[in-house]
Amino acid sequence: MSTIRLGDEAPNFTAKSTEGDINFHEWLGDSWGILFSHPADYTPVCTTELGTVAKYKAEFDKRNVKVVALSVDGLESHHAWINDINDTQATTVNFPIIADEDRKVSELYDMIHPNANDKLTVRSVFVIGSDKKIKLIIVYPASTGRNFDELLRVIDSLQLTAYHKVATPANWKHGEDVVISPSISTEDAKGIFTKGVNEIRPYLRMTPQPNLN
């Protein structure tokens, strides 16, 4: 079983999905990606999650993020379950669900935690950058549904901090002030961040979000 850490290359795989065969790296292309697992088909929390992701797809598209789900059930089960998701959640599932019956992908990404359940995947979330590197890992127990507003917030932060020398403070949301990287002197920061530098402490400098007009 693999142990995946932040900064590792996301393991590539081929798998069957509800939208055809997927070669993961080829499918991602130049996009960012979210790979998230579900304990099983026809579980109530998963049904609400997949419906929510379908409704949020436009937000993921705006951020150049492709989304793919996974469970250890088969394609026939997935397709039938999608009908239930569409009906009960008043949406249309618009992203692939991987059928991982042999658990190859689950084991590759360490999604099965035996002390929680020795057969079913926990609620793992992997955010993968356009460079195919793992940027975020969150693991939820089977009983707790994920917060996809938080995932959008984190992706906004990851994409901002990937291209600008800043970090995001606690509870940051898109449009709010950000923290200037400690590696930049205050003098240099004033030249880089032309919207202004607020030096609260020598190590704590704030500036308006730099990629907004």
Catalytic residues: 46
Looking from the CA of 64 toward its CB, the CA atoms found within 13 Å total: 11
Burial class (CB in 10 A: 0-12, 13-18, 19+), 45: middle
How far is 209 from 174, CA to CA, in rounded Å?
A: 8
Q: Which residue has the tokens 């704590």?
A: 204
Which of 126, 134, 135 shows the shortest CA–CA distance to 37?
Answer: 126
CA atoms within 13 A on the CB side of 35: 32
Task: Give buried/exposed letters for 162-180 (b at 16+ CB in 10 A, else e).
Answer: eebbbebeeebeeeebbbb
Query: What is the DSSP secondary structure assignment for residue 131, as one 8-state letter?
Result: T
